[in-house]
Structure 1
Amino acid sequence: MFHASTRRLMAAAAIGLLGTQATAADLRYAHVGAEGDFQTRFAAEAAEEVNAATNGEVTINVFPASQLGNVAEMVDGVKLGSIHMGHHDFASLARIVPEIAVFNAPFIYRDGAHALAATDPATSEALIALNERLVEEGGVRVIDRIYRGARHISSNFEIKSPDDMTGKPFRAVPLDLWISMIKGMGATPTPVEVSELPTALMTGLVVGQENPLTMISANALHEVQSHVAMTGHMQSVLAVFVNENAWQGLTEDQRAAITKVLDDKAQQSLEWAQASEADLITELEGKGMVFTTEDNGLDLAAFRDKVLPQITADFPEYESFIAQISAVE
């Protein structure tokens, strides 16, 4: 029997998706986002706008919802060139350059605007340095980013402090940074792929998870979760990355046009997130979810005091990059 990832690659080859037969201007773009999530809207609209901006010279075919594999398989596909583009948390690229996960570290951004500024591939000192290593060591380049909103904790019971999570199984994104963060919160980290999350919550494999409200809404997690703690522990910024050979195979004008479209979409994604959070709270409350904020007992300081020392202990190499991120205006 073939491993699942092998079967996916074989299937991709069978329908002409694998290899380098396609021209450099015909790009395959994969991500794991579900319908209704900002990241799905971002990729779909960007593909249309790139086609228009390049007068049809560049076609981007988007494959959402893990169609071309899970996160690890997607990143490997972009490295190999079987997938040309993708997006996911910066930490997904830590399998190439471990330190790049710093851009997803908790409690390092002041707000969403700061998060976007600190992850601009053209101006962020930290990202410029790490991008050079990504290209050298993995043949992958970050070309832009998506803002999805602040990440909050959902559960099937009220959470006011890390004490309420102690010893309980919480979903961790299957990346080292998330496992460290959930451990710092006092819970038992349980890695679960996003495509398997609703089932894991329904069966009790995990009793809670953390994500932006857009994802909680898009995946109907109100059906299996009763509470949201508005911790805002991470500003959710996703890296848009590309296979370096595919990128260099485009003309300078094509690369400039794609970058302009993606930069504009990045700013729009911030606007989408900021405009939608209040509406999402109202929507989810209407579906029965109960929200805990600092106004009604959420102890954010306790979360910071627990999580940051855990991250520092597990990732001392982040220190200089966090200083650079903090200095960004």
Structure 2
Amino acid sequence: MSRRTLTALFAALVLLPSLAFGQTYTLKLAHLNPQNPFEVASAAMAEVFKSEVEANSNGRIKVELYPNGVLGKEAETMIQVKSGVVQSYISSSGGIAQFYPLIDVTNMPFAFSSYNVGYKVYDGAFGQALAKDIEAKAGFKVLGFGESGGFFAITNSKKPIKSPADMKGIKLRTMALPLHQEIVKALGASPTTVAWAEVYTSLQTGVVDGQMNPISIIAMAKFQEVQKYITLTNHLYAPYVWVINPKFYNDLPADLRAVVSDAARTGILAGRGLSRIIDASDKGLPTLAAKMEVYVPTTAEMKQFRDATMPAARKFMSEKYKQEGEKWVDQFYKAIEQAEKELAGK
């Protein structure tokens, strides 16, 4: 081998690391809601993620945002993530359920006593185990469990709902989540699955009478324009599941994988913080109360809601998902118990 050839080979070897370092990537991130980061949790998550990734990767990763369901319905967008056409998606529980039905475990009614308990559960060992199972069975890497807006309330256009007895005859919109539908049936109402993009029109035209969502989501969607009554049941706390195409993620250099993971964690914190700010400000309940009749159930009435839904949900998980369902429910409640002890300083 000539000296000239050796010199060229040496130069190429020296250049390879710099070429790898100089490679750039495009990460397309989609979510279901408008890109209003001061009003919508998923928008805040996406905006902060984009800023953190682009800054901390020194421009090696460009993040493109596709909000408001512009790439299609949830199942369609998640299929695009699977195929690598889109790299990442912030999914509702209903969206991920079509690929990983056991996400139902996160929808056990009246499970959380506070937001901090929920954060500890989803950021801790339970969340890590659930993320691992989702990747193994559904083929999505989970970046984290984000804020979907907070505890759920029930709205409707027919009558005040003070107890489960008032739910009879109400057609209530649900996500495509079997456990949500079971909870609604246990309360005496009729569950009707409606895609998110169609909920406002369905409420407006009477296809359904009501729906259930966190206060910040109800305000963001302007449901107060087509609903008369809201009951603050706080019966669910359903997370967003933030997924990314595993091949795209694993093909990134180690330093960029760390950047993406850290940015997702920061984005999740931003979404949670925004939701708590909305809840505490006039953009939350006061905005709804200006046009809706707000009802806070008494302690006795809340017991009726719990008694109607909690045993029914546990029975449903056992019957539908058998031993695996029972295992995840047990792990879920053990994680909640441990989080409550840690927060109490025990």
Q: Same fold (TM over 0.5)?
A: yes
Aligned pairs for 1:244-259 (under 5 A) are 244-259=246-261
- Cα gap change, 1:298 to 1:38, in 2 (>3 Å): farther
**Residue 268 of structure 2 is aligned with which of 266, 269, 284?**
266
Cα distance in structure 2, aligned partners of 1:67 and 1:129: 31
Cα distance in structure 2, aligned partners of 1:174 and 1:298: 30
Q: Which amino acid aligns with 2:137?
A: E
In the alignment, what sits opposite 1:105? 108
**1:127 and 2:102 correspond:** no
Count how many residue pairs are aligned between Structure 1 and Structure 2. 302
Q: Given that residues 97 and 133 in structure 1 are in contact (C-alpha distance below 8 angstroms), is that contact kept between their aligned partners in structure 2?
A: no
CA deviation map 1:196-253 (0-9, x unaligned)? 0011001111111011111111111111001110111112321111111111011221
Deviation at 1:92, TM superposition (A): 3.0
**Residue 190 of structure 1 is aligned with which of 189, 192, 205?**
192
Q: Given that residues 29 and 61 in structure 1 are in contact (C-alpha distance below 8 angstroms), is that contact kept between their aligned partners in structure 2?
A: yes
* Structure with the greater alpha carbon radius of gyration: 2
Q: Given that residues 151 and 236 in structure 2 are in contact (C-alpha distance below 8 angstroms), is that contact kept between their aligned partners in structure 1?
A: yes
SS at match of 1:319: helix
In the alignment, what sits opposite 2:3? none
Q: Which amino acid aligns with 2:33?
A: G
Q: Given that residues 292 and 298 in structure 1 are in contact (C-alpha distance below 8 angstroms), is that contact kept between their aligned partners in structure 2?
A: no
- Alpha-carbon RMSD across the aligned residues, in angstroms, is 2.0
Moved more, 199-208 or 228-237: 228-237
Cα distance in structure 1, aligned partners of 2:87 and 2:107: 23
Q: Given that residues 30 and 88 in structure 2 are in contact (C-alpha distance below 8 angstroms), is that contact kept between their aligned partners in structure 1?
A: yes
Deviation at 1:91, TM superposition (A): 4.8
SS at match of 1:135: helix
Deviation at 1:27, TM superposition (A): 1.1
Deviation at 1:298, TM superposition (A): 8.0
**Residue 87 of structure 2 is aligned with which of 58, 81, 84?**
84
Please report the TM-score for the alignment, with normalisation by the length of structure 1. Answer: 0.85
Cα distance in structure 2, aligned partners of 1:96 and 1:197: 22
Moved more, 272-281 or 48-57: 272-281
**1:281 and 2:285 correspond:** yes
- Structure 1 segments of 4+ aligned residues over 6 angstroms from their partners: none
In the alignment, what sits opposite 1:46? 49
SS at match of 1:62: strand
**1:61 and 2:71 correspond:** no
CA deviation map 1:291-328 (0-9, x unaligned)? 11136x88221111111122112112143232333234
Cα distance in structure 2, aligned partners of 1:83 and 1:325: 33
Cα distance in structure 2, aligned partners of 1:328 and 1:60: 37
Deviation at 1:173, TM superposition (A): 0.8
Aligned pairs for 1:207-226 (under 5 A) are 207-226=209-228
- Cα gap change, 1:105 to 1:83, in 2 (>3 Å): farther
Q: Given that residues 202 and 208 in structure 2 are in contact (C-alpha distance below 8 angstroms), is that contact kept between their aligned partners in structure 1?
A: yes
In the alignment, what sits opposite 1:206? 208
Cα distance in structure 2, aligned partners of 1:42 and 1:131: 18
- Cα gap change, 1:58 to 1:111, in 2 (>3 Å): same
Give the unaligned 5+ runs of structure 2. Answer: 1-22, 319-324, 340-346
SS at match of 2:32: coil
Cα distance in structure 2, aligned partners of 1:160 and 1:69: 37
Aligned pairs for 1:67-78 (under 5 A) are 67-78=70-81
Q: Given that residues 104 and 235 in structure 1 are in contact (C-alpha distance below 8 angstroms), is that contact kept between their aligned partners in structure 2?
A: yes
Deviation at 1:24, TM superposition (A): 7.8
**Residue 336 of structure 2 is aligned with which of 309, 326, 329?**
326
Q: Which amino acid aligns with 2:263?
A: V
CA deviation map 1:78-129 (0-9, x unaligned)? 2222221111234532333322331233222221111121112xx32x3333
Moved more, 83-92 or 303-312: 83-92
**Residue 119 of structure 2 is aligned with which of 113, 116, 121?**
116
CA deviation map 1:156-190 (0-9, x unaligned)? 12111111111321001122222122212211000
Name whichever structure is richer in helix by fraction. Answer: 2
Moved more, 268-277 or 107-116: 268-277
Identity %: 25
Give the unaligned 5+ runs of structure 1. Answer: 1-22
